[in-house]
Structure 1
Amino acid sequence: MGFKPVDVSGKFETIRTAKAEGKIYLSKESVEMIKEGKVPKGDVLLASQMAGMYGAKRTPDILPFCHNIMIDHVVVDTRLDEDGVYVSAEVKNVGRTGVEMEALTAVSAALLNVYDMLKAFDKNMVIGDIKLVSKRGGKSDYAEDLSGLKCAVITLSDSCSRGEAEDKSGKTAIDIIENEFGGEVVHYKILPDDKDKIVEELKSLEGKVDVIFTTGGTGFSERDQTVEATKEVIRTEAVGFGEAMRIIGVKFTPKSLLSRATAGIIGKDTLIINMPGSRGGVKDNLRMLAPMVKHAIRMARGEKKH
């Protein structure tokens, strides 16, 4: 069986924090040695704080599935209790993956350092209660699936509408919507790059579906009319969706800057999202934007403020 690290290249960079804690239980004699500063190796509490900081920074060296990330801030606190040493660690970074493992490793390293400094005097030390206390900033803070939403997929392509080419981008969108995000595709259609027909199709779906995903027609050709048709029917443009597709997309290919894709609300609460006509563009952009669709629809309905 092979190994498969998580690909985080398509995620947003956000401020991420994690806090963990743990404790090592000591004999009364060991507690007194620490309190009175009689441990031969030195200041147990201070040295363990340093060990925790090292542990956070070296996490990828010992855990094979942890990414090498830039850690922006680490705080390790140690406290001497009547029955042992309590350790907490908070780690922060701006990145595409969380720092909970770094926080947990920091606590573990600090506790192990206490053990190392007292092992000659205390044979019954027990390390325990290591746990993640909190984490913020990751996908779980904002992401939702598409379950319960009625979706439409419209492919805009002259060649596909004439049967001269297979609609790979639309079928890819349907697969991701249904099998990865749990949405229900209730409408699928292939249309030529004809603005009037696109406008007519979009208007016909207003209020009948929750979200319309279009593929194709976002380039510079005279026949690329998807964006113009979308702007004609929407009441409010969701500028951030288009910006995100270009900002994230350029990491995969500079050609993403040539996409004019946009998004917006038609009628009361039907969301339209334009996507490029390539399979790769659909995969990258749909997986990036789908987790925010429900929130956008609730905002359109006035149910949830941002």
Structure 2
Amino acid sequence: MKNVGMKAESYRIAIAHAILHAPQHCIELLRIGQTEKGDALKTARIAGILAAKRTDELIPLCHPLPIYQADVEFELLENAVKIIAQVETIGPTGVEMEALTAASLAGLTLYDMLKPHCNPEDLSLDQCKLAQKKGGKSHYKRVLAESITASVIVLSDTVAMGKKPDTAGKNVLDILAEANFHQVMYQIIPDDPQQLLALIEQQKNTYPLILTVGGTGLGPKDLTVETIQPLLKREIPGLMEAARSFGQKRTPYAALSRGVAGYIDQSVVITLPGSRQGAKESLLAILPALIHLFDVQKNIPYHGGYE
């Protein structure tokens, strides 16, 4: 089963279609709701909705999801019925299979209720396909349309002294590379506010994105937030709210992160936690918003450093 634990939840919709071919007199039975087994369209609608809600029990390796809305509609044609299933959720993965299963089971229910009224070869269910999907990575992009540069500054006394390897910063570099950031500046410095201030002064207006890693907790040397926050000209509080919310569903310790985000001159500066998992979770949580910020918003102040 695919691990979706590190995927952010989003509002997702899927619509699937299927076609049941049937003789004209069977279509008329559907229209008036009079088959031997009762009103076939109403029964098929309920069957489709139930199928959407139980897809994870029917299809191996399909994730269970909260189904916030599921419905099945029908269009009666001359010699066919078009089945339209729509399913909606808020979750880490999509509901395409739920919509397809709903359309299929609704079609099979119609097949079952019409077969006493015609020859088996007169009925066929086909063209079951996904018609539309919204949400997730297809809607909220996680990769830049055009590459831009970035800077990653890791703050750690022990890493700077070579006493332990940097895993958090390396994780951040991997995520940025996958998101189409290029020529990423990577530096490791001690937990020293003065060195951090000097680097920010050098790099602002050169890198559109500056990420610090470490110093957002409550330890005596965790001073990244105190160093960065007074420099922010326009804060973006929602970024770190999203990061903490995402992290808190995975560990209660995320509530202790004090990270901040915003503009320092023309650079977006974001403070990430110093743990490998904390940095990864925080960046993954806000990555779609960052991509939107740099890809879509035309009022972002571009300059020669990354044009």
* TM-score, with structure 2 as normaliser: 0.89
Q: CA deviation at 1:38?
A: 4.9
1:21 corresponds to: 17
1:82 to 78, 88, 99: 78
Q: Is the 8 A contact 1:199 1:232 kept in 2?
A: no
Q: CA deviation at 1:230?
A: 1.6
Q: Is the 8 A contact 1:153 1:187 kept in 2?
A: yes
Q: Is the 8 A contact 1:23 1:85 kept in 2?
A: yes
Secondary structure of the equivalent of 2:271? strand
1:71 and 2:70 equivalent?
Answer: no
Q: Is the 8 A contact 1:27 1:122 kept in 2?
A: no
1:275 and 2:269 equivalent?
Answer: no
> Within 5 A, what are the aligned runs for 1:284-303?
284-297=281-294, 302=299
1: distance between equivalents of 2:248 and 2:171?
21
Of 289-298 and 60-69, more deviation after overlay is shown by 289-298
Secondary structure of the equivalent of 2:184? strand
Q: Cα distance 1:300–1:91, how it changes in 2: closer, same or farther (>3 A)?
A: closer
Secondary structure of the equivalent of 2:8? coil
CA offset digits 1:113-153 (Å, max 9, x no partner):
11112234232222122222222233332223145021211
2: distance between equivalents of 1:237 and 1:38?
64
Q: Is the 8 A contact 1:13 1:96 kept in 2?
A: yes
Counterpart code for 1:171: K
1:174 corresponds to: 173
2:128 corresponds to: 130
Q: Cα distance 1:298–1:199, how it changes in 2: closer, same or farther (>3 A)?
A: farther
Q: Is the 8 A contact 1:45 1:79 kept in 2?
A: no
Unmatched 5+ stretches in structure 2 = 302-307
1:102 and 2:98 equivalent?
Answer: yes
Q: Percent identity?
A: 37
For the aligned residues, what is the CA RMSD? 2.2
2: distance between equivalents of 1:216 and 1:153?
11
CA offset digits 1:237-268 (Å, max 9, x no partner):
11112112211111222111111111111212
1: distance between equivalents of 2:59 and 2:222?
48
Of 238-247 and 95-104, more deviation after overlay is shown by 95-104
2:207 to 183, 206, 209: 209
2: distance between equivalents of 1:20 and 1:296?
32
Q: Is the 8 A contact 1:30 1:122 kept in 2?
A: no
Secondary structure of the equivalent of 2:26? helix
Q: CA deviation at 1:52?
A: 1.0
1:93 corresponds to: 89
Of 253-262 and 167-176, more deviation after overlay is shown by 167-176
